[in-house]
Amino acid sequence: MQFKLTFKEYNEALKQNKILGLKCNNCGSINLPPRITCQNCSSPELEILELNGRGTIQTYTVINVAPENREQEVPYIVVLVELEEGPWIMGNLGGIKPEEITVEIMGKKVIMEKASVYSGDKYSWGKMMKNRKPTLGFIGAGVTGTALAVELAQNGYAVVAANSRNRSSAQRLAFKVQNCCVCDTAQDVADLAQAVFITTPDDIIADIAASLTWHNSQIVIHCSGAHSIDILEPAKYFGANICCLHPLQTFAGLEQAIRNIAGSTFAIEGDEAVLPLLNDMASAMKGNIIVLKAGDKALYHVAAVTVSNYLVTLMKMAADLWASFGITQEEAVKALLPLLKGTVSNIENVGIPGCLTGPIARGDIHTIQRHLNTLEKEHPSALEAYRALGLKTLSIALAKGRINLETAGEMQTLLEGKQPLAAELPAEFYEEIGMNAPTEQNLSDATPVKKSMQT
């Protein structure tokens, strides 16, 4: 859904002494300031209507401590006016001195003229925010939201509000941090916190951003690894800053997430004004920081899925192979984990391509041939993946420098399936590697033979 009337259009009209509202075609109520849906009946059927600017004073106050950029105007009077069409609006009252105003002003008729629009308030949402940590709110209190709330609270950020579809989740989050209010609605969080994390499932982030009324200079943050900040665009119409802070980490459970989130890599994306805050948050959590631009998110997330989710798939494939000789999945995983951890350690300490080991790294064509033969016979479902991964590994092996282009070409031909498999290879091949040629009936009956010594 889109705004029929944007805040930019609303503010520009005010500068021309015009008040624009939105009339609901369903219930007839007038909405002001701009919204996506009717505040009375939630209908999106709204049309722009110019109001006459006349109304009745309902209450007033005298301002003696000015917001930013209005220090020279104090004291002045601010009134809350009920417009003839129904909405209430706030503005300055002219034509009377602040020291002369009394309660008798309430109920008096007024008309808008000489309108001005002010942005920023150094005592709430304005530029002073750059010099201190904002209060935080969380909409969505699942594993990611709660882990972030706990870690940020431990590093000096005040988490003041939480809301979740499951109230017990919000209560759990509030219990783990100090002085956090469990809110009945997401709007309550938006009204209480200066920076709001939307840590809901990805598919409803945009709907939440579009359904709430945000504040000028407020900070709205999502934590999706797949989506860019454009899904928060509706919040910008209210003058809010939008951004993303994504922890590049896998969270299988809450306590594990709380332990692991510190020291993670954090991908940040957002308006220039809030990047320093995102850097501060990530640094407070001892994180490694990468800055993404618009359009980077898709490939960034593909990489994350590849290295995390598909690693689980590879472990499952390996465990399935071991099942052929009677090893259970649990036993296989336990046995293979030290190898996996060693590989990760080598990646970290040696780096790519130096950390690569195995038959492709050393140009062992015969071992690869045997692997392909066995998979074709016993696990054909894994053959395509083995070939694809092997082909991707060739360039790493070449970069390591232990194989030459000729050997790499031979392995590429084999992995692409252009070279015949074992049953069709000439006898000379088996003599060279010290094996008897297999029969067509049973590829597994290839057995080693003792080669004579040449003197």
In a domain, 291, yes or no: yes
Average pLDDT of span 277-283: 95
Percent of all residues in the chain with a pLDDT value above 90, rounded to a whole number: 67
Say if residues 51 and 34 touch (Cβ distance below 8 Å): no
Is the pLDDT reported for residue 188 higher than 70? yes
Average pLDDT of span 132-139: 92
Higher pLDDT among residues 335 and 427, named by residue: 335
Show the tokens assigned to 322: 């071991």
In a domain, 455, yes or no: no
Distance (Å, rounded) from C-alpha 408 to C-alpha 421?
18
Same domain? 46 vs 68: no
pLDDT for the residue numbered 122 = 39
Distance (Å, rounded) from C-alpha 421 to C-alpha 399?
28
Distance (Å, rounded) from C-alpha 177 to C-alpha 200?
19
Q: How confident is the model at residue 217 (pLDDT cuts 50, 70, 90)?
A: confident
In a domain, 83, yes or no: yes
Same domain? 262 vs 349: no
Percent of all residues in the chain with a pLDDT value above 70, rounded to a whole number: 87
pLDDT for the residue numbered 271 = 80
Distance (Å, rounded) from C-alpha 19 to C-alpha 24?
16
**Last residue in a domain, options 244, 270, 295:** 295
Span 357-393, pLDDT tens digits: 999 999 999 999 999 999 999 999 999 999 999 999 9
CA 253-259-261 angle, 5° bins: 90
Is the pLDDT reported for residue 448 higher than 50? no
Higher pLDDT among residues 328 and 273, named by residue: 328
Peptide bond into 33 cis (omega under 30): yes
The four Cα atoms 250, 253, 256, 261 give a dihedral, to 10 degrees, of: 40
Average pLDDT of span 84-112: 89
Q: Which residue has the tokens 């939105």?
A: 22
In a domain, 326, yes or no: yes
In a domain, 102, yes or no: yes
Of 407, 388, 383, 387, nearest to 397 (Cα)? 407
Distance (Å, rounded) from C-alpha 258 to C-alpha 235?
29
pLDDT for the residue numbered 372 = 94
Is the pLDDT reported for residue 126 higher than 50? no
Is the pLDDT reported for residue 112 higher than 70? yes
Same domain? 42 vs 59: no
In a domain, 273, yes or no: yes
Same domain? 225 vs 167: yes
Instruction: Identify the weakest region by mean pLDDT among 31-40, 52-61, 125-134, 395-404.
Output: 125-134
Show the tokens assigned to 254: 């809450």
Helix, strand, coil % in the chain, rounded to nearest 5: 45, 15, 40
pLDDT for the residue numbered 2 = 58
Sign of CA dihedral 123, 124, 130, 133: positive
pLDDT for the residue numbered 422 = 46
How much is the mean pLDDT over the chain? 86
Query: Can you count the helices (H) and strands (E) in the chain?
Result: 15, 15
Q: How confident is the model at residue 114 (pLDDT cuts 50, 70, 90)?
A: low
| Coil/strand/helix, residue 265 | strand
CA distances, 316 to each of 6, 335, 336 (Å):
51, 13, 11
Helix axes 383-400, 365-378, angle to 10 degrees: 170
End-to-end CA distance of the chain: 85
Of 195, 197, 232, nearest to 217 (Cα)? 195
Number of domains in the chain: 4
Average pLDDT of span 51-65: 91
Beta bridge mates, 161 = 137, 181
Show the tokens assigned to 237: 């119409």
Is 0.85 topped by the overall pTM?
no
Domain residues for the domain of 285 are: 127-295
